[in-house]
Chains A and B, each alone.
Chain A
Amino acid sequence: MVLSEPRVLAKHIEPGMRVALPVDYAGVSMAMTRAIIEQGAGHLDLVCVPTGGLQVDQLIGAGLVRSVETSAVSLGEAGGAPRFNAAVKEGAVRLIDATCPAIHAGLMAAQKGSPFMPLRGLIGTDLLRHRDDWRVIDNPLVDGGDPIVLIPAIQPDVTIFHVPAADRFGNVWIGRRRELAAMAYASRTVLVTAERVVEKNLLADEASAAGVLPALYVTAVARAPKGAWPYGLWGEYPADSAEIARYAKAARTADGFSAYMAQAQMEPA
């Protein structure tokens, strides 16, 4: 495993790829956001696992996004996601509205190499009505009736996330954030940024091995201290809610967004 840097990792991202990104608190690689924007590959189809925030809003604001499959997009306490909301109003991105467990079910199907995963709920919702890729069948294991929704496998081209530690063998520590593993299993390419890179093999200790995503699923790792900022990282540092609020205010207009993104303070102080 060759240790890389975010800029080099971003070269894996090509136009039209399907890119999976984690929820706010699971380990968002904000360090990769700027690298992706500089790389400039557009027409991306984002999959939010299972919801999106700052990173998704910034990629949309930068004009790189063709569609968003998500259960929600928001900036949490800082309010609505401004560039996402503007893009919805303009019809500039294709919306693929989902519900959290449906995103997880799609990834789980891909993880197992199965074409779909059945899921309860959903019947009678307008989510289902607008999803021509979701199918309703009658449960074949009972005598008639019992409709259930089939969620097709979600196979991202790329998954991108941030973790506290990686080792020099390419193993990464994901702790209890198991959705990061699900994303990795389902994806062809997995790009990880880490707070630090340790010398010891993370798999060597039986007490911690179960919280490790093995290098088998990891394409490339880059070191990125404070790489989730202004989001927080579990066990490491809290979110910088003042900075997220500052973005929320600035990005209300396209010009304000551009000005925010252009300034040097994209790195933590």
Chain B
Amino acid sequence: MADVLPREVLICTIARLLDGVRHVAVGASSPIPAAGAMLLRAVKEAGGAIGPRISILGSVEHNFFTNGSAELFDCAGQGRIDAFFLGGGQIDGFGNVNLVGAGDYPRSSVRWPGSFGSAYLYFVVPRVILFREEHTPRVFVEKVDFISAPGVSEDGVFRSGGPIALLTGKGLFRFDKTRPGFELESVHPGHDLAEIKEATGFRFAHDAEPRQTALPDRSTLELLRGRVFDELAETYPEFAAQMRRDLGTVDA
């Protein structure tokens, strides 16, 4: 079997972070989080357990909603969505997310699409996973230019959800809301602590010698490359094809 691809490490890490959720929602253009959720479902079902329900926004196949685009948010408000993913043009060391733009608002020098549902979902979804493959100082900044959604809230503000982890192309961080701040949990194969420090604009806690991100075992990898990539191809055909091309390269 081929070596594990960097994106397979990300997918398997997401599946681990989602362990135990009943219902996970995934954005329309988020193939890696969707693959992580599908992998968890495949692993659970292979073990005879019930896998999580997966809602992919904008998909017809993976959409249980009949009440328009408001239903996802109502569902989250009722506590029926356990996990969600957020990216961000900027993410800072306090877990604040900026989806609006860089520079002074409203005349941002770089404008991103906007906050979408983040200013609500970050508050009410218990397990929000921050996911951004690009790990550079322009993304991971000391302080975001605009807070679309705050990492933590003052005492007394209703908050049943928030960030639990930050996954990047270089490593996995856990979020500690008591400090608040990130702690480097593990480093992906091929990267190291010095490189991550260099690429991160905020300070974070870490061990002197952080461990490597766990790699999937053989049976998990077989499920991923078989059933999960088949399922993924229905909603994200180009991504699934690209993953299979990349695997072909590694196999050769």
Contact = CB atoms under 8 A, between A and B. Distances in A.
A132 to B, nearest CB: 13
Interface residues of A, number: 54
Contact of A101 (B107, B120, B158): B120
8 contacts: A25-B58, A88-B107, A88-B108, A97-B100, A99-B119, A127-B148, A178-B68, A182-B70
A194 interface: no
Given A145-B156, A147-B157, A101 B117 contact: yes
Interface residues of B, number: 46
Contact of A176 (B66, B74, B107): B66
B106 A95 contact: yes
Contacts of B122: 121
A88 B156 CA distance: 36
Interface in A54-111: 70-74, 76-77, 80-81, 84-85, 88-91, 94-95, 97-102, 104, 108
A133 interface: no
A147 B60 CA distance: 37
Interface centre among B29, B107, B120, B124, by most A CB within 10 Å?
A: B120
Given A77-B29, A176-B65, A123 B157 contact: yes
Contacts of B107: 88-91
B68 A176 contact: yes
B120 A126 contact: no
Interface in A197-239: 234
Given A23-B69, A88-B101, A123 B111 contact: no
B113 A102 contact: no
A35 interface: no
Contact of B114 (A72, A121, A177): A72
Nearest to A70: B114
Interface string B134-147: 00000000000011
B120 A178 contact: no
B73 interface: yes
Interface of B: 28-29, 58, 60, 65-71, 73-74, 77, 99-101, 105-109, 111-124, 146-150, 153-154, 156-158
B153 A123 contact: yes
A99 B117 contact: yes
A240 interface: no
B120 A50 contact: no
A44 interface: no
Given A77-B29, A88-B108, A101 B73 contact: yes
Interface in A115-166: 119-128, 130, 145-148
Contact of B67 (A25, A73, A146, A178): A178
Contact of B69 (A74, A126, A179): A179
A100 B73 contact: yes
Contacts of A128: 119
B189 to A, nearest CB: 30
A120 B68 contact: no
A144 B8 CA distance: 49
Interface centre among B68, B112, B150, by most A CB within 10 Å?
A: B68
Given A51-B113, A85-B111, A97-B100, A26 B120 contact: no
Given A95-B106, A176-B65, A125 B111 contact: no
